[in-house]
């Protein structure tokens, strides 16, 4: 049976991938690089390891020992790890990787990791390979549809999110009355939503898009129950994701909760894509 490797961060996305790959007949070797890894990964993976994100040499050698040739990276590993006090001493491979970074943009870091994996014969696969059924087409998925004012905010937010993505800053923006309340940066999607919702006070719109030149090997946008919970905390009323380019996990539970609360969830395209 063929094996696929999964470098797993925070969230339910790695679990969805693991189950989809196993359904296709693959054995999945999971390496969780965060301490908050989903319990389902440990319970259901064909092989499971927990290795610090700063031990890249151990990660690579573990995959090679397991006979893995294709690897996928899924789940959030925030850049806060690079700026807070490090409790794990990085191995020499990681130190060299960090020292050769020309900057600390998301794509720069991820491409350096891809290069490190591929020079050892580990091909980094398309994140969406087994998850295209979870990438919604254009349409409103909840009972409530956006109001005219919310639709204007969606369009404004879509353009803004694409501009931020082009600068490799983030993929999520929170807007209200066509003004930016928050733009995702190092804090990640959930904290951006909470902050933007608080600043908008009530009824803000969350928009998440892929980057204009999205590399599907990493950082493909994703939303799920944690996204909705952050919106509830921030009292946001609309979530608009880019159609066919965003992975939407835990769909049934998320839509049920959104309908109970009158929150809009929709998938949209930009003006130039319609």
Give the residue from 186, 45, 68 showing the smallest Cα distance to 124: 68
Prediction pTM value: 0.87
pLDDT of residue 273: 52
| pLDDT higher than threshold 70 for residue 81 | no
SS3 222: strand
State residue 80's pLDDT score. Answer: 60
CATH class of the 133-273 domain in this structure: alpha beta
Q: Are strands 47-50 and 247-248 parallel, antiparallel or unpaired?
A: unpaired
Q: Where are the domains of the chain?
A: 3-124, 133-273
Q: What's the whole-number average pLDDT of the chain?
A: 91
Residue 164 reports pLDDT greater than 80: yes
In Å, how far are 43, 75, 112, 169 from 164, measured between CA atoms?
Answer: 38, 21, 21, 5
CATH code, 3-124: 3.40.50.20
C-alpha closest to that of 81 among 55, 58, 61: 55
Q: Are 91 and 58 in contact (CB under 8 A)?
A: yes
Q: For position 129, what pLDDT does the model report?
A: 85
pLDDT at 127: 86
Residues 6+ apart with CB under 8 A from 43: none
Q: What pLDDT is recorded for position 86? A: 62
Q: In this structure, are residues 150 and 264 in contact, taking their beta carbons and an 8 Å threshold? A: yes
Element (DSSP H or E) covering residue 70: strand 70-74
Of 92-96, 142-146, 258-262, give the lowest mean pLDDT range: 92-96
| Cα torsion through 197, 213, 75, 257, rounded to 10 | 40
Summarize the confidence of residues 114-142 as an average pLDDT: 93
d(CA 244, CA 250): 16
Angle at 254 between CA 195 and CA 80, to 5 degrees: 40
Do 3-124 and 133-273 share a fold? no
Task: Give the DSSP H/E element, type plus range, for residue 190.
Answer: helix 189-200
- pLDDT tens per residue, range 13-47: 999 999 999 999 999 999 999 887 788 999 999 99
Q: What is the mean pLDDT of residues 197-221?
A: 93
pLDDT at position 274 is 45
Structure confidence at residue 172 as a pLDDT band (50, 70, 90): very high
Nearest to 13 by CA among 32, 207, 3, 211: 32
Task: Tell me what percent of the residues of the chain surpass a pLDDT of 90.
Answer: 73
pLDDT of res. 82: 57
Sheet holding 179-183, edge to edge: 139-140, 264-268, 238-242, 205-208, 172-176, 179-183
Q: Is the pLDDT score of 161 beyond 90?
A: yes
């Amino acid at each position: 049976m063929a094996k696929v490797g999964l470098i797993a961060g925070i969230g339910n996305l790695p679990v969805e991938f693991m189950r989809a790959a196993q359904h296709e007949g693959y054995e999945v070797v999971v390496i969780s690089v965060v301490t908050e890894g989903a319990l389902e990964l440990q319970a259901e993976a064909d092989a499971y390891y927990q290795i610090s994100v700063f031990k890249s040499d151990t990660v690579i050698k573990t995959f090679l020992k397991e006979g893995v040739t294709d690897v996928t990276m899924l789940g959030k590993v925030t850049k806060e790890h690079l700026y807070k006090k490090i409790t794990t001493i990085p191995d020499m491979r990681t130190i060299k990787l960090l020292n050769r970074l020309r900057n600390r943009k998301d794509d720069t870091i991820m491409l350096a990791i891809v290069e490190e994996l591929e020079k050892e014969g580990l091909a980094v696969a398309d994140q969406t390979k087994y998850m295209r059924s979870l990438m919604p087409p254009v349409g409103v998925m909840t009972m409530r549809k956006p109001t005219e004012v919310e639709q204007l905010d969606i369009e404004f937010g879509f353009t803004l999110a694409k501009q931020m993505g082009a600068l490799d800053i983030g993929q999520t923006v929170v807007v209200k009355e066509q003004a930016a309340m928050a733009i995702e940066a190092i804090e990640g999607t959930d904290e951006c939503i909470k902050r933007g919702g608080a600043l908008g006070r009530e009824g803000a719109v969350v928009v998440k898009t892929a980057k204009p030149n999205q590399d599907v090997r990493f950082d493909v946008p994703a939303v799920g129950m944690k996204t909705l919970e952050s919106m509830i905390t921030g009292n946001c009323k609309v979530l608009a994701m880019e159609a066919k380019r965003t992975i939407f996990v835990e769909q049934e539970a998320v839509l049920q909760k959104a309908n109970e609360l009158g929150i809009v969830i929709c998938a949209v395209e930009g003006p130039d894509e319609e």
